[in-house]
Structure 1
Amino acid sequence: MSMWKKFAGGVAFSAMAAALVQPAMAQETTSGIGGTVSLADGTAAANAKVVITDTRNGLTRTVTTGATGSFDVRNLNVGGPYSVSVSAPGQQPTRVDGVSISLGQATSLNLQFSGTAAADVVVVTAQQVNAAPVAIGPSSVFSLADLETQPAINRDIKDVVRADPRVYLDETAGGSAGTDGIQCGGASPRFNSLTVDGIGLNDGFGLNSNGYPTERMPFPFDAINQVSVELAPYDVQYGGFTACNINAVTKSGTNNFHGGFFFDYTNDSLRGDSIEGRQIFVPEFEEKRYGASFGGPIIQDKLFFFGAYEKFEGSNLFLRGPEGSGQPNIITGFTQAIYDQIVNGASTIYGISNLGGTPTVNPTSDEKYLARLDWNISDRHRAAVTYNYSKGLNLTESDSNQVTQFEFGNHLYDRGAELKAYSMQVFSDWTDNFSTEFRASRNEVDNTVKCRDGGNIGEVQIQFSGRTIFFGCDDSRHSNDLNYSVTSYKAKANYRAGDHLFSAGLEKQTYDVFNQFVQNTEGLFIFTSVQAFLDGTPSTIRYGNAASQNPADASASFSYDINTAYLQDEFELFPDVTATVGVRYDWYTNKDKPSLNSNFVARNGFANTENLDGKNLVQPRIGLEWDASDRLSVRGGFGLFSGGNPNVWVSNSYSNDGLRNIQLEARAPLATGFALAQNIRTTPNSADERGSGQTVNPTGALWGIPSYLYTAVGSGVANSTVNAIDPDFEPASEWKMSLGATYEANFGPLGDDYIIDVDFLRSASLKSSTVVDRALEQVGTNFDGTPLYKRIDRTDPDCLVASTLNTAACSTRSQNDLVLINAGDSYRNIYSASIRKEYDFGLEWTLGYAHVDAEDSRSMTSSVAFSNWTSNAVSDINNTKMSTSNYEIPNRITLQVSYEKEFFPEYATKVSMFGQAYQGRAYSYTFLNGGLNDVWGDSQESLHLLYVPTGPTDPNVFFCGGAAQASPLCRLSTTGAGATQYRTFDTASFFKWADEVGLERGRTVGRNDQEGSWNNKFDIKIEQEVPTFFGKGSLFGVIENVGNLINDEWGVPYEAPFPQQIRIVEADRDAATGKYVYRQVSAVQPQAAVASVAFWSVNLGLKWNF
């Protein structure tokens, strides 16, 4: 019999798959093979024998088809190759070799006997039968080959998943949350989930933008077998996210010993030193990474081991400096003369001899390892155990705006974490139709946070012309310690009854958190000019602590559980149409409550003790996939998803109850709550605020806390800031609806077998989150419609009567009552398309495009309640309106190309490239701080969207300068030398700029209505295999941002500084006339080059595998 006849008569194939990747709570770590077997006449082949063999470890699974000819085998290790054999009495046996299965995607093989009884076995390959799975929802799966091919210069799965055009890797973010956050379809990274072998390894507390609990990827890159990204998986096992789910499974040992090692290296000579013709100072540094992996049998076909280790020894580079410093990011307006003034003033006036200078380079390290055991208990039962350890440390910038902020070296802090993670899984096939999975896992995270100056002095901010200079211990790191654990259990069962595959499961996830987060225990001092700093006249002082003056007493501990139950049916709805219908139910149990603050209750009418206990959500879902033809498959679905709620937002209410953690503020000239003494150089100061009895520096200022604030905190006053959860608050949830298709196209002379994917996904919030300040009460309206607020004490009867509300009779309140509430509607529309092609001469390419339309009312970019409240451009700070999200990347194009050829026999040359072009995030024009009065009553001038006057004669605006030069409203400050210095507003340059950027006069600009710039970047990897004594070695080089290597004007991204705000006008308000007072124009630089990712760099390395 000819091979063609064997193929044509032996097998007919169609491929289906359900992208069933699990959440952080119930992560899928396996895959499956199922389908139908039919006779030559198309009728079902009942009782046919199906044998599935994992050729790597000899595990064999044998099942019998049911009455409809169907079979289904789940709980298979991902990858392959697998061999699938089918036999029946009187039929010619058939075997499909080379079947590789993807993470969470159950491949359906529809097999047909030839109708003969020949004894020889028909053998075909998976490639011959086009075995390609298709996902129900929008998703991507990256195989081991993808991981090895991509130019992943950071050895991080983020460098791989960014190939999906819907998944944007934010290299430009910075600050205390870190970098490289994964933004899926315009959503916050805090609403992603990440799991490895069933362990939820996403950031379980919600601090890091990178989505990891550690500073870098917490597991060795060489330990990973496959990675998937799911944006809308309709299987009800998915939970714990509303953005996307990123799932990785590790390699296992096999019957053959295998492993290898690698080493890569870079230094300052392998990095660019110019941007757009400007020579840049690059300090001396070097980075190296090395690691190894090894796996194999302990008992052949029975017990296997695998382990991987990786260590990174590198450098943190710091790129900001004053004018003339040669640093990549120059803070314009911050001259060397001002730099010297601050350094000299700190030393001679305040006794602070070392501010740490301009930071340039600092060592950093990261170490991790993973160990895994696999046990084939029998052909029907197997188990796996995984242990993962990671520890790393970084020197971190806290206030990292590259355009307007500069940090002296003693304002940086050490930041790191130690992770220990454990997982155990047991998979059992009790019968041909009934299987189970049991899992237990735990991860423990111990964070490290330490000020570089040792916490001797508090944070000092010196503001001028829209610039802010920082030194001293960062205000959020004065007393900061965090550790938490997450313990998870899962029990799941699958049962096949005819054409129905029923699934049911129970899960429980327990969070235990200890959090000491006490801001300002060393004090925060804000000066609105350099002269004010030299005079000793701050505009604001903040101090916080426990009443005992011991920050440890302000720590908070709490725990809660997320419980889940689900039920699902997967069945053939119509011929060639498979339906997945299920329901998921999540409910919270949370016995720990924040301490009751009776003063908060009196002010607001509800208790601050709300937690998550009793919160619950029913999540119905349906997914459909239609195998429309041999070339076309269509998928779609609709369902409700919940999760990704950052625990830090919940923790805020425990840590900031206004009782254990008392935060107070004194401001000038308002003198609300506490009158701010005008000269801290002569103000009596407390002993050391940590309560250790240290003597305050004789000059007093900045080394201690003004006595009136210290005493007030010690007395436990009722005026402290409180964070609370609204009684009606519900965890985040989103409705998702998607429609997509995959088509195999032939383009005549251009070739055949082009794979085209198109998808549309809409996510619309059922519940989202925002923060409001309940202490604010509207007392008026500006001419432009913006509200005027007053921070009041609602226990004062005069504050409850309209006639006295806006008078001195109503007691003012200096602190916030910040409440986490549900926001209004938000949505994300994601359109994507890709085309890919493989050639038999070693070339592969994929071209992708995604368009994202995302709107929200507050983007919640931070972890602290106050920062979330103050990181959004607004017209009304407590009633934000829907507008473009800070996370929207409106357009993104991706290109992957790889080529492999043996120019030297048996030793391949491999070249791969990844490129992207994208439109950056939108941004807003706002006012800036620096005026003498609280313009809108919320003390947040720099958040307010800019009003563009009709012209120099706008009747609603008072411009400083000219005849108005000597107006008190234009003074630099109210006391000291600044009382005789005046601002001048340059109307000509302002209106010239406003017209050039297209701002409409006579109106307030909209939030994020300025379009971001288009940026591009291309990375290349070149690898050459070389002979070794055994196994196979290779030499490689990875070039990041190759465009910048060719031309220093290429590959330079431009973006507005975090949080996508450019502050233009220092403003005030004349209470008598209601006019805005325009005092000064900032040095406008709409978008700046992001130097940290603009330079080209090269990593050189070698590896050896066997």
Structure 2
Amino acid sequence: MKRSMNYLLLGAAVSALMLASPATAQETSADARGVVTAPDGSPLAGQTVTIRDTRTGTTRTVTTSSNGGWSARGLRVGGPYIIEVKSDAYANERIEGITLNLGKTYEANFQLDEIAGGVEEIIVSASALKSANVAMGPSATFNLTDLETAPSINRDIKDVVRMDPRVYIDESNSDAIQCVGANPRFNSLTVDGVGLNDNFGLNSNGYPTEYVPFSFDAIQQVAVEMAPFDVEYGSFTGCNINAVTKSGSNELHGGAFFDYSNDGLRASRLEGNPNYPNGDYTSKRYGANLGGPIIQDKLFFFASYEKLEGADLFNRRPGLEGQPDQATFDRIAQIAQDVYGYTVGDIVNSLPTEDEKILAKIDWNINDNHRLALVYNYNDGYHISESDGDADEFEFSDHYYERGAKLKSYVGHLFSDWTDNFSTEIRASYTDLDNRQISRGNNEIGEVQISTPEGVTVYLGTDDSRQSNDLYYKIWNYKAAGTYRLEDHNITAGFERADLELFNMFVQHTVGEYRFTSVDNFEAGLADRVYYGNAASHNPLDAAGTVEYAINTVYLQDEFSIPAADLTITAGVRYDWYENSGLPAENPNFVARNGFSNATNFDGRGVFMPRLGFTWDATDALRVHGGVGIFSGGNPNVWIVNNYQNDGFTQLQVSARNLNILEAELSGSGRPLADIPQSLYDSVSSGSANTGVNALDPDFKIPTQLKVALGATWDFDAGRFGEGYRLTADFLYSKMRNAANIVDSSLVQIGTAPDGRPLYASTNKANPVCVDNPIASGCARFGNSDYILTNTDGGEQKVFSVSLSKDIEDLGISWTLGYAYTDATDVNPMTASVAFSNFSGVAVSDANNPTEATTNWAIKHRLVGRFNWEHEFWDDNKTTLSLFGSLQSGRPYSYTYNDMGGYFDFTYSSFGDTVDDRHLIYVPTGKNDPLVNFTGALASEAAQDAFFSYLEEMGLMKYAGEIAPRNGFKSDWWGKVDMRLAQEIPLPFEGHKITAFMVIENLTNLIDSDWGVQKHAGYFGHINFLDATIDRATNTYNYSGFIDRDPQTLQVTSSKWEVRFGVNYKF
């Protein structure tokens, strides 16, 4: 679909900021085009073509050009439409029952017949034609029927888009969308053309809010675009999920729904183990929608409301495998009360949550040539979340926190046809979001971590990252675009702009963090480490950051047809450039250490994106599509905002070791755990600017991606196996260019490890002595690293997909089978929102230079199938059965060291950085490997036998004598089936019906508790199991112990079956 603007049109609008994009002006409508020919195939000029929307009576009239071509743009999505050709010389012809798909062009060609036997008009059903909605790149569109029949227990469009095999929803990670092997943060979500994706980059779910930010019943269609070669698409490198909302029509229509579940309608047993209770909870949702005319054929309204009163579930408790027993937790709680005067939170299985959505829309058909749409959207909801939820961690509920957000957006959209050949689109929108992260511990005490003999860390108090955390932003989007038809050419031009104002306060440790190596030390007050962070004023608001920036976009495109070759080509170019007035405060110590300033931003940087696409009707049944182009955007804004708040001035982080907090002098009232040790408090007061800094590489380039696609759709008959099959195949190749990466600029190579990897030291490069001798006394900068956002080469995605579908109308059956193969690599998966986590989250063989390897986001094989059956057992009351099943290969993971000790007294990891469990292991060739000494717990023959047996069992021995590769191992395959069963129930009023329905998520697990169970490695995919140090004298490894651990963890939430019952009323 292509729409844009004439050069004289004003501009303003859209989205993509800095690396990321606050919103993006994607398609919100549909187009139609075709060619009218005479009986002998010659083009007919001057014929009248009318396109009528039967819902609203809106009529668009165009005239064919000299080559018989016609087109209409900016049409409302959905239908049914009627397209009619009127001719003075030949019989009129019209097509009825047309449905227009979002962001697609409906092609309808007419070959008129002679007027014969008194027949002056020929009427054809759209279903009987080969006409189709056309896209140039790999994509999928889901209509209203798909939305209404999907087995969607969450009432979320993700339950629909997952039906495409290239789109994997990670149910173990907040339903993150992994599309064609790309980072979920690189996707974009647009609704009515306005971005509603997670602009800042904090949420794994891809939304700016905790739940889908709009009512499920408000959506008319959803499209997933992997590589749309239209230049109006931007601000993503993964995929764009584009939704358009419903509108009112000439008929009053509406409905209401209610659904319900509780703890008894969800699994409490997995793999035969009954120790997965749900607690006592209920979950109910209800809502209503109404649409209709205000003025017939002229003014329409639609409104939708939805409310959730649900629960979040927590699946860890005393006594589970690997967890401490109840007595340990009781003792910790008693110590907190008796020694520190603090009451810990309960151990809970569930806690209540809420979510509320409102959408209102006005459509005004000003006249047949101008259409205005106004949309208001509101969402406010929250989850209760765990802060530290890995298998080796346990939290009391006071360490949980409320993740919530309130979103409001306003959109105005004007479509105008000034002549048969010139149309324009103008859009303006405003969005604001107030994000909240509120600890259930209420900042009464800081975060407390207590290590137990089981290797589990127990948490209580206020999570360190939620002690001072607040986010608010506003986004203004503007767009002006126009299209001029010149014979066979649709020439589109446009200008867009997005402005963002953002306030972010993220200061860790303002109430402190206290780590104890045992329960006994917790009782004695002996803290192994204590952390405090704040502004020098001790007011965290003074450490907050405010950022304002914008992105401008211009584009020019020509879409032209070659009717003789049944070929349509789109060629265009898009250019994005950035404006950013504010700079991080320059830190002279950083400049002295690194030789460049940290006061750098994105101002003036731009990216040029040429694109070329085509569709070719090879035959009446075979359509080929493809293209090549550059895309950019999707990288979260939080990566940039980090640089404003972590400048070495704005906030300061200090720590102390081996401190008895019961005896130390404390600030304030002197209450341990609640008041900060005076020495740390005074250190922050001094305002030293010599701490670590986050900065942007002054040579940083905007990351882009080259996408090349080729695909085909074939409609065919299969003889004895029936007619009406559709086969679609696509290949997509994507190459990352200037991908984002984080490096630690304080690291200097000082040697080589036994296996050849570099050894580093973190040193003060501002001191000439340290430059000459990085390990000299006083040079260490452990804990004060400078993290630089920079570029790297490497990373690509190769995705092949195929799908086969068929409708058997006589039996009321439709089905689809799909498969996708994804081979994706990257250098740094950029898994987090802060610089340190992005640095430490990638497994490496070189601490400061990650190498290209399989990405964390790759699901290599994915098969999907959906089956719908509809039957009327009595009268016209439908019984509908919908099934969706998926089977996918597992998430990749890496084997890393666990405890590397320090190469020097002032270093943390033997390899020189501050993280030990990110380093890939060297796999010894055997007990006599000259590079490895077996010491400590591995000194005995029996222990070594067990160690090598483990390596063999885990598949590591095939890398003997080498460093095990990043993400060279795969978790188990996972599959499940979801089901929806619905029955219409008649009412005594014509056109009114009630539908009773049941949705079962993970029907496979309901049938057998061993089925549908998901297991995989943790989020970062690091299986840290081996303790080691490096012997400096001999330059050999000392392997001193290992953990015989299963690399995979049971994912409880995604594995459990759940049932929801509900009722839906429609009229």
TM-score > 0.5 by shorter chain: yes
Rounded to whole Å, the distance in 1 between the matches of 2:778 and 2:460 is 40
Relative to structure 1, the CA distance from residue 948 to residue 343 in structure 2 (aligned partners, 3 Å threshold; closer, same or farther) is farther
Aligned Cα root-mean-square deviation (Å): 2.0
Relative to structure 1, the CA distance from residue 77 to residue 488 in structure 2 (aligned partners, 3 Å threshold; closer, same or farther) is same
Relative to structure 1, the CA distance from residue 119 to residue 812 in structure 2 (aligned partners, 3 Å threshold; closer, same or farther) is closer
Task: Give structure 2 stretches of 5+ with no counterpart.
Answer: 5-13, 16-22
Q: 1:990 aligns to what?
A: 947
Whether contact under 8 Å (1:1022, 1:1036) holds in the other structure is: yes
Compute the displacement of 1:119 (Å). 5.5
Q: 2:7 aligns to what?
A: none
Relative to structure 1, the CA distance from residue 452 to residue 1100 in structure 2 (aligned partners, 3 Å threshold; closer, same or farther) is same
Whether contact under 8 Å (1:141, 1:227) holds in the other structure is: yes
Rounded to whole Å, the distance in 1 between the matches of 2:969 and 2:574 is 41
Whether contact under 8 Å (2:782, 2:914) holds in the other structure is: no
Compute the displacement of 1:811 (Å). 4.9
Map 1:841-880; keep pairs closer than 5 Å: 841-880=811-850
Q: 1:310 aligns to what?
A: 306
Q: 1:461 aligns to what?
A: 449
Q: 1:685 aligns to what?
A: 666
Q: 1:1008 aligns to what?
A: 967
After superposition, give the CA deviation of every residue in 1:266-287 in whole Å (9 maximum; x if it has no partner): 0111111211111132211110
Q: Which amino acid aligns with 2:576?
A: D
Compute the displacement of 1:825 (Å). 1.2
Q: 1:295 aligns to what?
A: 291
SS in 2 for 1:566: strand
Relative to structure 1, the CA distance from residue 846 to residue 862 in structure 2 (aligned partners, 3 Å threshold; closer, same or farther) is same
SS in 2 for 1:942: coil
Q: Which amino acid aligns with 1:633?
A: R
Q: Which amino acid aligns with 1:825?
A: G
Name the TM-score, length of structure 2 as normaliser. Answer: 0.95
Rounded to whole Å, the distance in 1 between the matches of 2:677 and 2:46 is 85
Q: 1:645 aligns to what?
A: 635
Whether contact under 8 Å (1:19, 1:137) holds in the other structure is: no
Q: Which amino acid aligns with 1:219?
A: F
Task: Give structure 1 stretches of 5+ with no counterpart.
Answer: 1-16, 174-178, 325-329, 667-675, 688-694, 966-983
Map 1:337-736; keep pairs closer than 5 Å: 337-349=327-339, 351-401=340-390, 403-463=391-451, 466-530=455-519, 532-534=521-523, 536-573=525-562, 575-666=565-656, 676-687=657-668, 695-697=669-671, 700=672, 702-736=673-707
Compute the displacement of 1:1062 (Å). 1.5
Q: 1:1047 aligns to what?
A: 1008
Q: 1:942 aligns to what?
A: 917
Relative to structure 1, the CA distance from residue 532 to residue 936 in structure 2 (aligned partners, 3 Å threshold; closer, same or farther) is farther
Relative to structure 1, the CA distance from residue 1007 to residue 467 in structure 2 (aligned partners, 3 Å threshold; closer, same or farther) is farther
SS in 2 for 1:266: strand
Compute the displacement of 1:877 (Å). 2.2
Relative to structure 1, the CA distance from residue 243 to residue 1014 in structure 2 (aligned partners, 3 Å threshold; closer, same or farther) is same
Q: Which moved more, 1:105-114 or 1:418-427?
A: 105-114
Rounded to whole Å, the distance in 1 between the matches of 2:411 and 2:938 is 74
Whether contact under 8 Å (1:845, 1:898) holds in the other structure is: yes
Rounded to whole Å, the distance in 2 between the matches of 1:148 and 1:811 is 61
Relative to structure 1, the CA distance from residue 636 to residue 962 in structure 2 (aligned partners, 3 Å threshold; closer, same or farther) is closer
Q: 2:216 aligns to what?
A: 221
Compute the displacement of 1:365 (Å). 0.2
Relative to structure 1, the CA distance from residue 655 to residue 962 in structure 2 (aligned partners, 3 Å threshold; closer, same or farther) is closer
| Count of residues in Structure 1 that have an aligned counterpart in Structure 2 | 1037
Q: 2:754 aligns to what?
A: 783
Q: Which amino acid aligns with 1:123?
A: I
Relative to structure 1, the CA distance from residue 304 to residue 1069 in structure 2 (aligned partners, 3 Å threshold; closer, same or farther) is same
Compute the displacement of 1:996 (Å). 1.4
SS in 1 for 2:108: strand
Compute the displacement of 1:355 (Å). 2.3
Rounded to whole Å, the distance in 2 between the matches of 1:875 and 1:337 is 42
Rounded to whole Å, the distance in 2 between the matches of 1:469 and 1:778 is 37
Aligned pair 1:258/2:217, yes or no?
no
After superposition, give the CA deviation of every residue in 1:701-733 in whole Å (9 maximum; x if it has no partner): x33323222211111113222111111112221
Rounded to whole Å, the distance in 1 between the matches of 2:881 and 2:227 is 33
Q: Which amino acid aligns with 1:611?
A: N
Whether contact under 8 Å (1:308, 1:371) holds in the other structure is: yes
Query: Percent identical across equivalent pairs?
Result: 47
Rounded to whole Å, the distance in 2 between the matches of 1:604 and 1:467 is 39
Rounded to whole Å, the distance in 1 between the matches of 2:590 and 2:769 is 18
Rounded to whole Å, the distance in 2 between the matches of 1:941 and 1:811 is 17
Relative to structure 1, the CA distance from residue 809 to residue 79 in structure 2 (aligned partners, 3 Å threshold; closer, same or farther) is closer
SS in 2 for 1:879: coil
Name the TM-score, length of structure 1 as normaliser. Answer: 0.91
Whether contact under 8 Å (2:529, 2:658) holds in the other structure is: no
Rounded to whole Å, the distance in 2 between the matches of 1:680 and 1:1073 is 41
Q: Which moved more, 1:986-995 or 1:211-220?
A: 986-995
Relative to structure 1, the CA distance from residue 466 to residue 579 in structure 2 (aligned partners, 3 Å threshold; closer, same or farther) is farther
Compute the displacement of 1:1083 (Å). 4.5
Q: Which amino acid aligns with 2:691?
A: S
Q: 1:1103 aligns to what?
A: 1064
SS in 2 for 1:127: helix
Compute the displacement of 1:874 (Å). 1.4
Q: Which amino acid aligns with 1:468?
A: T
Q: 2:50 aligns to what?
A: 51
Aligned pair 1:1064/2:1025, yes or no?
yes
Q: Which amino acid aligns with 2:862?
A: R
SS in 2 for 1:274: coil
Rounded to whole Å, the distance in 2 between the matches of 1:1034 and 1:197 is 29
Q: 1:971 aligns to what?
A: none
SS in 2 for 1:163: coil
Relative to structure 1, the CA distance from residue 985 to residue 511 in structure 2 (aligned partners, 3 Å threshold; closer, same or farther) is farther
Whether contact under 8 Å (2:764, 2:774) holds in the other structure is: no
Relative to structure 1, the CA distance from residue 996 to residue 87 in structure 2 (aligned partners, 3 Å threshold; closer, same or farther) is same
Compute the displacement of 1:946 (Å). 2.1
Relative to structure 1, the CA distance from residue 941 to residue 1060 in structure 2 (aligned partners, 3 Å threshold; closer, same or farther) is same
After superposition, give the CA deviation of every residue in 1:335-379 in whole Å (9 maximum; x if it has no partner): 445434433443444x15322132311000000010000000000
Whether contact under 8 Å (1:986, 1:1081) holds in the other structure is: no
Map 1:166-181; keep pairs closer than 5 Å: 166-173=166-173, 179-181=174-176
Relative to structure 1, the CA distance from residue 39 to residue 506 in structure 2 (aligned partners, 3 Å threshold; closer, same or farther) is same
Compute the displacement of 1:931 (Å). 4.3
Q: 1:135 aligns to what?
A: 135
Relative to structure 1, the CA distance from residue 731 to residue 1029 in structure 2 (aligned partners, 3 Å threshold; closer, same or farther) is farther
Rounded to whole Å, the distance in 1 between the matches of 2:599 and 2:937 is 55
Of 741, 754, 757, the match for 2:712? 741
Compute the displacement of 1:618 (Å). 0.8
Relative to structure 1, the CA distance from residue 1097 to residue 266 in structure 2 (aligned partners, 3 Å threshold; closer, same or farther) is same
Q: Which amino acid aligns with 1:1013?
A: D
Q: 1:907 aligns to what?
A: 877
Compute the displacement of 1:828 (Å). 0.7
Whether contact under 8 Å (2:800, 2:822) holds in the other structure is: yes
Q: Which amino acid aligns with 1:492?
A: A
Map 1:764-783; keep pairs closer than 5 Å: 764-783=735-754
Q: Which amino acid aligns with 1:217?
A: V
Rounded to whole Å, the distance in 2 between the matches of 1:84 and 1:450 is 55
Whether contact under 8 Å (2:447, 2:462) holds in the other structure is: yes
After superposition, give the CA deviation of every residue in 1:835-880 in whole Å (9 maximum; x if it has no partner): 0011022000000000111101110111011111111111222100
Compute the displacement of 1:813 (Å). 4.8
Whether contact under 8 Å (2:825, 2:852) holds in the other structure is: yes
Q: 1:968 aligns to what?
A: none
Q: 1:154 aligns to what?
A: 154
Q: 1:669 aligns to what?
A: none
Q: 2:186 aligns to what?
A: 191
Rounded to whole Å, the distance in 2 between the matches of 1:115 and 1:250 is 42
Compute the displacement of 1:537 (Å). 4.2
